[in-house]
Amino acid sequence: MNKKILYTTVFGNYDDVIEPKLPNGWDWKCFSEENSLSLYTDNNRNAKRFKVLPHRYFQDYEYSIFIDGNMLVVGNIDELVEKYLSDSNVAFFDHSQNQLDPRSCIYDEYNAIIQLGSDDPNKNYKDNPTIMRTQMERYQKEGYPPQNGLITGMVILRRHNEKDCIKVMEHWWTEIKYGSKRDQLSFNYVAWKNKLKFSYMDGDSRNNQYFTRDTNPHKGSK
């Protein structure tokens, strides 16, 4: 039985995702409207359900790597897993290492999303501003500190069936399901709340020795 799986989620009007060339011992899965039940009218949350909860769908696998539908595998993912899951069960790229938009705070991320929507001529926000503001205010009242790190959600490494990982992923999903669908706003809070030890991978999340972003943009919502 294979113990390692790489997967993505593609909901909405997307271009086809090409199955990556993987090392021996890895399986591949793409969740989409064609092969998965849509529980929400919002394609973003339909996709996030599979992104955040691999323990519900991959019980026979020890390791999983989630990648956005527009990410390409260019490096040795066995090496990646060995390096970053040796002493924790979850790993992300660090937003502060992004060359384009380095940030290390969920409150700064919220402000950036609001600014982006305000600058748009059509005031097209990535999520409901009131929902996001209410969520940030709740985190502040609970004592979540500023400048406490910020993940990027494009790639996630997990030993997804470990108890600490399951607990945090279920909590993260609750925040996304009932709060903002912008998952980067809530993960670091959830990790802090549950005292989760996780790892940050080195490099820019969009272009590094293991993954790079596809220059052919997709059209739907993840």
- The CATH number that applies at residue 73 is 3.90.550.10
For residues 90 and 54, give the distance between their C-alpha atoms in angstroms, rounded to a whole number. 12
- Across the range 144-155, mean pLDDT stands at 98
Reading across the β-sheet that carries 26-32, which strands appear in turn? 26-32, 4-10, 63-67, 151-158, 90-94, 199-201
Of residues 16 and 49, more confidently modeled = 49
In the structure encoding, which two tokens stand for residue 183, read together? 């998952």
Residue 40 lies in a domain: yes
| Token output for 39 | 């529980």
Q: How many domains does the chain have?
A: 1
Mind listing the pLDDT tens digit for each residue in 199-209? 999 999 999 99
Query: Whole domain around residue 89: which residue ranges?
Result: 4-95+150-213
DSSP tag of 207: B
Top-confidence residue, 220 or 34: 34
Of 219 and 98, more confident: 98
Does a structural domain hold residue 137?
A: no
Has residue 129 been placed in a domain? no
Structural domain contains residue 136: no
- The predicted pLDDT at position 33 comes to 86
In a domain, 186, yes or no: yes
Show contacts of 109-117: CB within 8 Å, 24+ apart: 109/150, 109/182, 109/184, 109/185, 110/136, 110/185, 113/182, 113/185
Neighbours of 151 (CB within 10 A): 26
Give the pLDDT confidence score for residue 215 in this predicted structure: 74
Q: Residue range 14-21: average pLDDT?
A: 76
- What is the C-alpha separation between 148 and 75, in angstroms, rounded? 29
Retrieve residue 119's tokens.
């600058």
Three-point CA angle 10, 212, 181, nearest 5°: 40
CA distance 85 to 91: 7
Where is average pLDDT lowest: 49-53, 74-78, 175-179, 215-219?
Answer: 215-219
Residue 36: predicted pLDDT? 86
pLDDT of residue 175: 98
Element (H, E) at 90: strand 90-94
The mean pLDDT value for 163-177 works out to 98
- Across all residues in the chain, what is the average pLDDT? 93
204 — phi, psi (to 5°)? -75, 130
User: Is residue 130 a part of any domain in this protein?
Assistant: no
Rounded CA-CA distance 105/25 in Å is: 37
Q: Does 219 fall in a domain?
A: no
Residue 79 resides in a domain: yes
For the CA atoms of 210, 212, 218, 221, the dihedral, rounded to the nearest 10 degrees, stands at 60
